[in-house]
Amino acid sequence: MKNLRAWSDHLRPKSQTPPQQTRKTTSLLVSVSVTLASTLLTIIPIYYSSLRYYPSFLWTSSVSSSSSTSSSHGHGVSAGVPSAKQFDLFTGEWVPNPDAPYYTNRTCWTIHEEQNCMKYGRPDTGFMKWRWKPNDCELPIFNPYHFLELVRGKSMAFVGDSLGRNHMESLLCLLSRVENPVEVQLQRWKLTGYNFKIAHFWAPYLIKAERADANDPSYTALFHLYLDELDPEWATKIVEFDYIIISAGHWFFRPTLFYENGQLVGCFNCYRENVTDLRFSYSYRKALQTAFRAIYSSRNFKGLTFLRTFSPQHFENGSWNQGGNCVRTRPFTSNETRLEDINLQTHSIETEEFKVAESEGRKRGLKFRLLDITFASLLRPDGHPSRYGHLAPHDNMTFVNDCAHWCLPGAIDAWNDLLLQMMKMEDGRSFDKTKSSWAFHFF
């Protein structure tokens, strides 16, 4: 009220306005402000509800910001639905979690060798003992019973590069506390007790791509990208799945040639005469558009699609092939770093194209959701394998430090905390006191 009066006094000429008139003016301003605020708070939720989409600033849950109604272990958590309580899941800090980790490389056998940091001698364990804490609420730790009840009789596909596989393997390890997954064929798994199927489709560009020279190693090879053509390895199979999680980004920084309508239109870092050198953003944006179009144009796909956003790398003192490394042992706080340069550009492309896809999908009765892990992952320079994703180098062996993938267990497990919470908010069921004694703690 004091600020409002000061504002109205500032607008009023310095004259002999009677105090009674000032009180009337102030009262009118207060009335107008309250009416406007009330109207906005009523219209905005109704508008977004009609769209069947809630942006991050309107995400809501019955999960309380107080520990009195929820715990960090996911006990007694109700699935959230849009209501008066609003919060952003994706802006926050990493806080200590002494109860973590909830699995190890001894209890989960699906960890990929290159992310099996404890097996290869990583000396510290502190990187496993953090959890993601949004600013406005408590995000429950992943509860495998809740997840498996949501997906009973359903299927989920991860589409993308090795970081997509990294994400899937984190999920498999988290679920293994309830039931060990069975690999029914290459990169396809099943949890028989819940009739839940999960798969990873290798599609680092999401679209059709071919190596220019089959003898070149993949990390230096030049690729042909057909920006308007789908990768049939996953695009023809999406109707089999109830959930699709697509992700990409890192491979688009490699040398590539771009084709549209069968014609060469440009490249990125190809250094060829008479070929226009375009930015990576050109191909990444086109690839996302093509992938999204495949999903929302499918006649038979009725599932829920997540775009998992870009996962930042943390190379310091050099790039990946020039001695760069990641040796930090603690997370950043939010005021120690910021999203910028390539990370910001990539994330911006994703959010822009997601908005278009979400709108197009909504017209067709399909749901698209943004699993925005970028900022949380930016704060975790300590979570990568570095040199602890393989045996120590010896004569005639060379390795590069890995500051792109994530150790298991570790920071990437929080991606599934977020995924589960978003799935619960979509489903709307209550999970109060459901299998609350699930937690197993190590270290």
pLDDT tens-digit readout, 54-66: 343 334 333 444 3
pLDDT band at 32 (very low <50, low <70, confident <90, very high): very low
Query: What is the identity of the amino acid at 3?
Result: N
pLDDT tens-digit readout, 312-333: 999 999 887 778 999 999 999 9
Residues taking part in catalysis? 162, 402, 405
d(CA 66, CA 406): 30
pLDDT tens-digit readout, 209-266: 999 887 776 667 899 999 999 999 999 999 999 999 999 999 999 999 999 999 999 9
List the beta strands (DSSP E) in 290-364. Answer: 304-308
Q: Give the pTM.
A: 0.80
How many Cα atoms are found within 13 Å in the side-chain-facing hemisphere of 266? Answer: 11
Tell me what pLDDT residue 441 has.
Answer: 47
Work out the mean pLDDT of the chain and round it to a whole number: 82
Domain ranges, ordered by start, for the chain: 52-427
Tell me what pLDDT residue 398 has.
Answer: 65
DSSP letters of 349-391? Answer: HHHHHHHHHHHHHHHTT-EEEEE--HHHHHT-TTSS-BTTTSP
CA-based nearest residue to 167, from 430, 413, 422: 413
pLDDT tens-digit readout, 374-416: 999 999 999 999 999 887 665 555 678 999 999 999 999 999 9
